[in-house]
Amino acid sequence: MGVFSSFRSIYALDTLDTRFTSSPRVPYQAVVDARNGHGIAPGTDAPVELDSRRKPIPPTRSLWGTAEFYLYYVVVTVSVAYMFWVAFDVSRPSDPNYYKYERWLAPGWIPGRRVDVSDAQYRTFRRNTPYIFALLLVHPVLRRVYERLRPAPTQSKATFSTSGRIGQPGGAAGDVKLQQRTSFDSVFALIFLAALHGFSVFKVVFILYLNFSLATKLPKQYIVPATWIFAVGTLFANEIFNGYPYAKLQSFWMPWTSPTILQGGVVQLSWGSWLDGYSGIMPRWAILFNLTVLRLVSFNIDYYWSLDQGAGSPLEKKQLDPANLSENDRVRTPAPARDYNFQNYLAYTIYAPLYLVGPIITFNDYISQCKYRSPTIESSRTLKYGIRLFLTFLCMEFILHFDYCVAISKANPVWSDYSAKQLSIMSLFNLHIVWLKLLLPWRLFRFWALLDGMDPPENMIRCVSDSFSTVRFWRAWHRSFNKWIVRYLYIPLGGSGVSGRFGLVRTIVNYLVVFTFVALWHDISLNLLVWGWLIVLFMLPEIIGTKLFPRSKWENNLKAWRMICAAGSVANVMMMMSANLVGFAVGVDGLKNIIYGIFSDWGGIAFLLTACGVLFTAIQIMFELAQIAPLAPILHRASSHTHEIAAISFASVVRPGPRLSAVAGEGGELVLGHHGVGVKGAEFEVREWDVEGGELGGEGGCEGF
């Protein structure tokens, strides 16, 4: 394999996450077997996109080699280079405002450059990266040592899986492996928590115990409402009481033991203050606990749904091989009743690699992967994922060494000192840095989980520069959280598949509930609450626009329809930038000042119109990228409760090819031949109702870093 091929494989979708290149309904072992010459690869789901009338959108002619697109290439190339220059220019020591933010800069490792360390989250991550990498290597080694000291008993006879293969671990072997893994995970997690939070580990475990008791001791009909009340109440209580300092708990419950002043003015510290003095590496445990709250909900509701299964194993009823489950089956199939115990619960909720930042994995999926190692865990793929992570880190470091946009915004600048051009480009770079600072820890801790034999979902699947749809943007940002929201909140609320007179109103209300929860989950602050509501507000133009300008009405003039979509997408990008600047960068007041700076003179308005023109050309390229690089497993999927089926003419949409999985429609026959694929006698049927496969928004797109 040449250098170019090796580099290309690092940036392949399969390296990022196998969920993007294989169907979530097909066990990945079939792909591995086909690669080794023992079968035919099932391929991804047929990449069929439907219009507003549930009709197929036929493939369009490629525009890459047209004169129109050559013009776009020139505009985008020059514009991107110019944006980097503007950001670099305002970051030079010769800039008049340099002295205002110089204190936010630290010596850098690139000769002659300082590095922007003004963002507290990234500064903490950057400072602790060497220790995290050390832990990342030590933790899997400790597990191997533990497994050698406490080996799982081997079966004396070869066992047969339901798929008929010899050597697959049986149910008993899976249970033994689960016990082995969770016993290590639970003990290591407690040690890990004690190191992170000191004596606050007792507060965390107490909250975990309360939640476990709700799920396992309440009558079934009260589990779900009690779970949500407890989850939201915990978020508010952690914020209001600032993590429950022991000193305050002592003064409230045992005021007679409060600190006393001895002779000479010496203060005798109480035991509460003494415990607070040993608060670990990360004293503010309550901030990090928000992610754990999601796992608490996952355990409780997965347990609640398992109560509906009745007698018998769901795997036996469906004739599924527990050692060879698909992604959807791992998530949807309840664990046996005996697996909903406190040790497994503790191991799951504070599983060390995913405790701090995720990605989020459901309880059912965690238990399944503990029993049977996922075939997606391969050394070569994990190595390439690690290299990709390192290159992303270098990208972030390069930007922070040459563009100090975050430091400028942190230094309470006088925004009128900057031109509209500088304000706009600094805002854009600010958002890119927010995206990168979230991407890096998510990938680092997922890399740790992969090294440990656990495969959680990839969180970032679309580059922030390749986002033209508000709805699609949010399904690609923090994807594991999106999948959690869909499974436990959005679908139970009714999703977007509500029909009838008030269907659109119900959909908007559902979005409001979802994004209000998302905002409160991130942080109980006005900026984020405004951010959540702005997101819903800014989704409305796209939702309404898709109904007013359906593709079906423009079949005779698709170019005009593409131009209308691009113009609407420019507005989408502007609105997304505004909302995210409020939520994650400059706040409401900062956005007001930026907008005022842009509209304060005709030069600013002229620049804004020029920027919209550049965005228009860039969005045309995004449209074409979406045509050639679909993320097949995360296409439009309808809600499970609606069981929507799109009946489409197969021959008019699906191109012949060897990698295709499909189901023939009723009365039809799916024909697989050497020269392609076709349907005989009926229309083709695309099934799109998997809850676990569904996500808020539309299809995915290319991921850039």
Q: List residues with catalytic annotation.
A: 522
- Chain centre to alpha carbon of residue 262: 55
Give alpha helix (H) positions in 307-358.
Answer: 314-318, 327-332, 342-349, 352-355
SS3 labels along 621-640: HHHHHHHHCCCHHHCCCCCC
d(CA 359, CA 375): 19
d(CA 281, CA 193): 10
Q: Which residue has the tokens 């990168």?
A: 436
- Amino acid at site 641: H
607: amino acid identity, one letter: F
Q: Judge whether 593 and 424 are in contact, CB under 8 Å.
A: no
**What are the structure tokens assigned to 568, written together?**
């609407």
- Measure the N-to-C terminal CA separation of the chain; round to a whole number of Å: 22
CA distance 355 to 604: 46
**C-alpha distances in angstroms, 612 versus 67, 81, 469, 578, 579?**
21, 17, 15, 14, 17
Q: In what order do the strands lie in the sheet with 684-687?
A: 645-648, 684-687, 663-664
Structure tokens at 337: 């009743």
Please answer whether residues 308 and 376 qualify as being in contact, where contact means their C-beta atoms are separated by less than 8 angstroms. no
Residue 375: cis peptide before it, omega within 30 degrees of 0: no
Query: What is the amino acid identity at position 60?
Result: T
Q: Using DSSP bridges, classify how beta strands 267-268 and 645-648 pair: parallel, antiparallel or unpaired.
A: unpaired
User: Positive or negative, the Cα torsion across 510, 512, 515, 520?
Assistant: negative
Q: Measure the CA dihedral 369/374/376/381, to 10°.
A: 80
Taking a C-beta distance cutoff of 8 angstroms, is the pair 163, 321 a contact?
yes
* Amino acid identity, position 434: V
User: Which residues, other chains included, contact 381 with Cβ-Cβ below 8 Å and sequence gap of 6+?
Assistant: 14, 15, 18
Dig out the tokens for 513 from the structure: 């509930």
Whether residue 675 contacts residue 656, with contact meaning beta carbons closer than 8 Å, is answered with yes
Q: Which residue has the tokens 């493939």?
A: 59
* DSSP SS3 for 106: strand
- Given CA atoms 282, 286, 292, 296 in this order, what sign does their dihedral have? positive
Task: Return the residue matching tokens 């390749």.
Answer: 466
